[in-house]
């Protein structure tokens, strides 16, 4: 099969812009998502069931429905309700952050709960406060266990951001579709997009391996 590298070269500048958009949106979303996720994760560990259920509902909603639909709801429902019009950048941040928060919450909760309760009891019996026990004994151990799961979540997020092409966010798949439309060729745009995602996620996983060894 013929493969037109000249078309890819022609589109390379916009693909690079799309890559920057993807990277930017992914970084912002993972940051907002993990802050929200931390809160939601603690919420889900609340001592009384009545406090737990909203967090429980949140996690189940965002994990139990396709991101595809979530993006549509945020873009055509949530954002216009606040702004009066759609805003693709806000859609990108909010849809990905809310989705990522649900997964991060479970990563935090699993990480913290994986630490043997004896550790906490020992810390308390040494005279530490609950907060100190969490801060100095539990979290340092838990974070070490969370790093691989977090890395996984970040990689999934980068790939899932491709769904934003649905609402015309100018990311990698958007430009890939643009290129497809001009030439009616499939492999040049899609394989280029795949390669860019691969390079992104592969470098990310290398970086995370490094962090894992350092922590």
By CB under 8 A, name the binding residues for other proteins: 1, 13-14, 17, 75-76, 80, 84-88, 165-168, 170, 174, 177-178, 180-187
* Residue placing its CB nearer to other proteins in the complex, 88 or 204: 88
Task: Quote the least distance from Cβ 157 to other proteins, whole Å.
Answer: 21
- Separation of CA 35 from chain center: 12
Phi-psi category of residue 84: left, alpha or beta, with phi > 0 → left and psi -120 to 50 → alpha = left
Q: Report the C-alpha gap between 87 and 7 in whole angstroms.
A: 31
CB nearer to other proteins: give 85 or 125: 85
> Please, which residue, 106 or 171, has the CB nearer to other proteins?
171
Cβ nearer to other proteins, comparing 108 with 175: 175
* Alpha-helix runs per DSSP H in 48-171: 49-64, 67-73, 79-83, 88-113, 117-125, 130-132, 139-160
Angle between helices 49-64 and 88-113 (to 10 degrees): 130
Q: How far is the CB of 19 from other proteins (least distance, A)?
A: 14
In terms of Cβ atoms closer than 10 Å to its own Cβ (0-12, 13-18, 19+), residue 152 is: middle
C-alpha dihedral sign at 208, 98, 58, 163: negative
**What is the distance, to the nearest Å, from the Cα of residue 116 to the centroid of all Cα atoms in its chain?**
28
Q: Closer to other proteins at the Cβ: 76 or 210?
A: 76
Minimum distance from residue 32 beta carbon to other proteins (Å)? 22
Return the SS3 of 43: helix
Min dist. Cβ of residue 14 to other proteins (A): 5
Q: What is the nearest approach in angstroms of other proteins to the Cβ of residue 186?
A: 5
Question: Minimal distance in Å, beta carbon 182 to other proteins?
Answer: 6
- Return the number of the residue (34 or 162) whose C-beta is nearest other proteins: 162
Quote the CA–CA distance of 94 and 197 in Å, as a whole number: 21
């Amino acid at each position: 099969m013929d493969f037109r590298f000249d078309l890819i070269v022609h589109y390379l500048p916009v693909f690079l812009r799309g890559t920057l958009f993807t990277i930017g949106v992914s970084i912002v979303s993972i940051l907002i998502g993990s802050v929200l996720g931390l809160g939601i994760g603690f919420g889900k560990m609340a001592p009384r069931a009545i406090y737990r259920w909203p967090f429980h509902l949140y996690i189940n909603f965002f994990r139990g429905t396709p991101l595809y639909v979530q993006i549509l709801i945020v873009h055509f429902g949530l954002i216009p309700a606040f702004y009066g019009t759609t805003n693709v950048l806000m859609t990108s941040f909010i849809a990905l952050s809310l989705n990522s928060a649900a997964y991060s919450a479970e990563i935090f909760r699993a990480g913290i709960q994986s630490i043997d309760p004896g550790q906490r009891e020992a810390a308390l019996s040494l005279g530490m406060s609950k907060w100190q026990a969490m801060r100095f004994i539990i979290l340092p151990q838990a974070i070490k266990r969370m790093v691989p799961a977090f890395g996984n979540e970040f990689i999934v997020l980068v790939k899932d951001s491709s769904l934003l092409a649905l609402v015309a966010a100018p990311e990698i798949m958007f430009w890939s579709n643009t290129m497809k439309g001009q030439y009616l060729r499939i492999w040049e745009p899609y394989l280029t997009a795949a390669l860019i995602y691969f390079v992104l996620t592969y470098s990310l996983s290398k970086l995370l391996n490094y962090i894992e060894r350092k922590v």
